[in-house]
Structure 1
Amino acid sequence: MTRVLHVLDHSLPLHSGYTFRTRAILKSQEAAGLEVRGVTGLRHAADGPPLETVDGLTFHRASGSVSGPAGLREWREIARFAESIEQVVREWRPDVLHAHSPALCGAAAMKVARRHGIPLVYEIRAFWEDAAVGNGTGREGSLKYWLTRALENRVIAGADAVFTICWGLKDDLVVRGFAPGKIGLSPNGVDLSLFGEPVPRDEVLARELGLGSGPVIGFIGSFYDYEGLGDLVAAMPLLQAEVPGSQLLLVGGGPMDDALRGQAQTSPAREAIRFTGRVPHDVVERYYSLIDVLAYPRKQSRLTDLVTPLKPLEAMAQRRLVAASDVGGHRELIEHGETGVLFAADDPAACAARLASLLRNPGGWEAMRDRARAHVAEHHDWARNVRRYQDVYHRLLAPMPNGAMPAAA
């Protein structure tokens, strides 16, 4: 049985799009007959034992801490993480190292892979220099920005095979000069076995939140600036003028929480805007049941143009209507008028107009939900997507004359 060690920034029991994608990959690979474990780096900010089982999955935890000025601190972090990976490799003896971005994970895994002659697969979920800009923790064009990109380029060049989660990321790597054949696609996906028929509207929760009978626009996730939720709040007065009784439900929290609440308080539509704060993952389905249209008004940026999000796919898998801004990451997932609707990014009026048009035409909702669910099942089901990895693993592990490694794709 092939053993695959996944090298990760963080994992369950923490909840994030990163950890949920990791869970789906590992569970699907186990179901396909692989033996898998994860090892997390120094940034896994959760208390727990050095060897931890979460949701039936096994994770090794790197220990220790590093300090020093920026740049030197990251090199020390890579070295310390490599020591932890090395220990797991010696004890568990994996056949493949599969590292996931950021590049710190890839660089640490590359050190160990070269030392032991183990194939290295590197998977890019986002360019972390662009993610830092989107999160407000970095600046495009800064020294840190270019150093982060240089480190990632080094890992990509040294890996035996590379995966990206979408075409936007792959195309960018090709422009940088990397061979297209070395880069596979493993798109964001969902475990369809987790999604049955949508649960009925939770009337008890609706009363607790003070929701009326009108249509509910909703967002469930983290409140980062690049998500564009301010545009959604700004669209509400315009939407109410077109569809009286419309409401907005914002579930989650994050860096923009206070700013959004302040904006909502000054809005003419403030009585129709509800904030729930963060909610436990095991009850989030109750909140989904209240929402007629899931809205994703991401701002136009390099990050949102190149990276496909997970949340719209989860909504489509649950047969929820989806409306999203027309950034590149959304266009890869949603076909306008077929599996959802798109509107101009950074434009509250365009957002309101598209939502109003959708809400005024409920006759087409059921067919749109059916098409969206079918699209996810055909293109984004992890039970199918996992085969993309296996094909690459098998190629990298194929015996070669004189013990040579097979060439990267």
Structure 2
Amino acid sequence: MKILIATFWQMPHVGGVNRYLNLLSKELEERGHQVDLLAHYPDMQKIYLQRYRKKDEFSWTLSGQAVLKKKLMDRIFPEVYAYYQQNLPHVEPWIRWREIERYLFELIASLFDLHQYDLIHTHDLLATRALWRVKPAHVPLVYKVHGLVASVHVFNGEIKHKEELKWKYVAAEEYAAAMSCDALIVPSRWLMRDLTEEFKVPRERFRIIPYGLDIAPFLEQYGYEPYPPVNVSPNKLVIACPARLSAEKGQKTLIEAVARLKEQRSDFVCWLIGDGVQRSELENYCQVLGVADRVVFLGDRSDVPALLRKAEIMVLPSLEDNQPHAIMEAQIAGKAIVASDGGGIPEMIRHGETGLIFAKRNSEQLAAQLQLLLDNPELRSRLAANAREWGRKQWSSQVLCERTLEVYQATVAAKKEQTKDPLGEPELTGQYGLSKPPGIKRDEPASMFRFAAMNSFREREWRELANRLPQTYAIPDPFFVRTLAEG
């Protein structure tokens, strides 16, 4: 098959999704499939299509194309922003900007000859809804959910309560993406339950396929020395927490637990491996709690396996997590693990057998479990050995790819051309400033919009887009107009 893997977010980046996409692409290519990647460039100023093709046993060729966003942004932004300003002025700029970014992604994606693919596999909610709206009707779309974006906004403090329009909007994004696909994959039962109960996605849509890891290269890196070198005092036991520094990862709980431990002992140090928006806040929190001498911020590192080898304990205090790679890696490395009960983590660890589970946000319980492991090398060794045995069987990349290919093949076999939007096509003509029915007449640029537009496209630009877009495509997406108007 010729497969397009797509994400709205930048690639490459540090994180589990980046590793998953690289691993899946590698496994698919090794089985003879062709894989292209559609993503934002790291600076978010252009969207690119990248393809690797094996040239011989030792080399690969790299090719692709990229589209700068600015030209389309200059055309789309004033039209859509003015529409909201005039017809839905209560919609705050954060939501307007997110809508505009999705429309830009839709239009640019359409320029990459989507008809050439046998299947599209998306990996976030923005790319899923966007590609569903612009892809050819015969090309099936599979969506792999990696986490709940709506919950992240809550943890980050951007959404205070569920009566806010912001919450209703991001909840609608979760639902729209889960419905705008031919097959829906999740890594954990927890994620399936949350999407079913919180966001009302029908249970029968789901297929659970856990993540995988390329074990041999990981173990090779595990045998290296960290670089840059990290000093480890011979009389200090290392507690390692490899996770980006963001609210949902729960490092505040760990820092509070370290403060409790410090009152009892001085034979340990805690490494925070990773970086993120909360770094300054967490560094200040260490100063406030008096543990700046016990917590070391190592920042983003490319040698996490080597750092894990220096640690006695791996801890992950997430408030919510799906199926974190940090736990997978610690299990394969054979480490004693302490992790929260947030999200899908309890599906990965058998408490007392392959690790210890504590209640999220409960720093007292976390401190007690760390104290237990620090005091008891025999328990650390037993948990580590059990984790190693289980993890090396569970997280096979070959099994991940085989299960994913089963979904691909079944989806391609069952695919029928989509004739209507699964979210419905609300009749909004005459409401909320929408003066025209959906559909491109292909005669003038203004026909792309469902409202009175300013004809900001030039004729040649318009022809390039109109010839690639489905006849039913138009801006704005009526599902989100209805959500925002009625919210």
TM-score (norm: length of structure 2): 0.72
Unmatched 5+ residue regions in structure 1?
none
Equivalent position to 1:298, from 300, 314, 318: 318
- Choose which of 398, 418, 440 in structure 2 pairs with 1:383: 398
> 1:388 deviation in Å?
2.0
Q: Measure, in 1, the Cα distance between the counterparts of 2:249 and 2:364.
A: 17
1:88 and 2:105 correspond: no
For the 8 Å contact 2:123–2:145, the answer to whether it is kept is: yes
Structure 1 partner of 2:374: 359
> Counterpart of 1:129?
150
Rounded to whole Å, the distance in 2 between the matches of 1:329 and 1:80 is: 33
| 1:45 equivalent in structure 2 | 43
CA distance in 2, matches of 1:404, 1:237: 59
Aligned to 1:161: 183
Question: 1:14·1:46 contact (CA, 8 Å) conserved in 2?
Answer: no
Size of the aligned set, in residue pairs, is 390
Question: Matches of residues 304-323 of structure 1 in structure 2 within 5 Å?
Answer: 304=320, 307-323=322-338
1:349 corresponds to: 364
Distance change in 2, residues 1:202/1:8 (3 Å):
closer
Q: Structure 1 residue 358: deviation in Å? A: 1.3
1:206 to partner: Cα distance? 4.2
1:234-245 residue pairs with structure 2 within 5 A?
A: 234-245=256-267
Deviation, 1:323, is 0.8
Q: 1:202 to 1:25 in 2, by over 3 A?
A: closer
Aligned partner of residue 271 in structure 1, secondary structure:
coil
- Aligned counterparts, 1:177-196, within 5 A: 177-196=200-219
The residue that corresponds to 1:329 in the other structure is 344
- 8 Å contact 1:11–1:22 — kept in the other structure? no
Aligned partner of 2:243 in structure 1 is 221
Q: Give the Cα–Cα distance (whole angstroms) in 2 for the partners of residues 71 and 224 of structure 1.
A: 22
Q: 1:393 aligns with which of 396, 399, 408?
A: 408
C-alpha contact 2:4 2:37 (8 A) present in aligned 1: yes
1:85-118 deviations in whole A, cap 9, x for unaligned? 223235x7110111111x22111110133x3421
CA distance in 1 between partners of 2:227 and 2:235 (Å): 10
Partner residue in 2 for 1:29:
28
CA distance in 1, matches of 2:201, 2:285: 44
What is the identity percentage for the equivalent residue pairs of Structure 1 and Structure 2? 22
CA distance in 2, matches of 1:255, 1:49: 24
CA distance in 1, matches of 2:300, 2:239: 17
Task: Name the Cα RMSD after superposition.
Answer: 3.0
Label 1:233 to 1:76 Cα distance change in 2 as closer, same or farther (>3 A). closer
For residues 398 and 166 of structure 2, the distance between their equivalents in structure 1, rounded to whole angstroms, comes to 38
| Deviations, residues 317-356 of structure 1 (Å, cap 9, x unaligned) | 2222211122232212111111111122222221111011
Shift in Å, 1:214: 1.9
Structure 1 position 81, deviation (Å): 1.8
Residue 98 of structure 2 is aligned to residue 74 of structure 1? yes
How far apart, in 2, do the equivalents of 1:61 and 1:334 lie? 42
CA distance in 2, matches of 1:211, 1:323: 22
Kept in 2: contact 1:11–1:18 (CA 8 A): no
Q: Per-residue displacement from partner, 1:171-202 (whole Å, max 9, x unpaired)?
A: 12333544433211122332212222643776
SS at match of 1:9: strand
Question: Whose Rg is larger?
Answer: 2
Letter of the structure 1 residue corresponding to residue 33 of structure 2: L
Residue in 1 aligned with 2:68? 63
**Contact 1:202-1:289 at 8 Å conserved across structures:** no
Amino acid at match of 1:245: D
> Aligned equivalents of 1:26 and 1:36: distance in 2?
6
- For residue 323 of structure 1, what is the amino acid of its counterpart? V
Partner Cα separation in structure 1 for residue 68 and residue 36 of structure 2: 17
**Alignment CA distance shift 1:107-1:62 (3 Å):** farther
How big is the shift at 1:277? 3.1
Q: 1:89 to 1:371 in 2, by over 3 A?
A: farther
**Separation in structure 2 between the aligned mates of residue 323 and residue 177 of structure 1, nearest angstrom:** 32
With over 3 angstroms needed to count, the CA separation of the structure-2 counterparts of 1:276 and 1:368, relative to structure 1, is same
**1:60 to partner: Cα distance:** 5.4
Normalised by the length of structure 1, the TM-score is 0.84
Return the offset for 1:132: 1.7
Closer, same or farther in 2 for the Cα pair 1:13/1:59, shift >3 Å?
Answer: farther
Question: Which residue in 2 is equivalent to 1:98?
Answer: 121
Matching of residue 17 in structure 1 with residue 16 in structure 2: yes
Aligned twin of 1:246:
268
Cα separation, 2, equivalents of 1:317 and 1:104: 33
> 2:330 touches 2:337 (CA, 8 Å); kept in 1?
yes
Structure 2 residue aligned with 1:7: 6
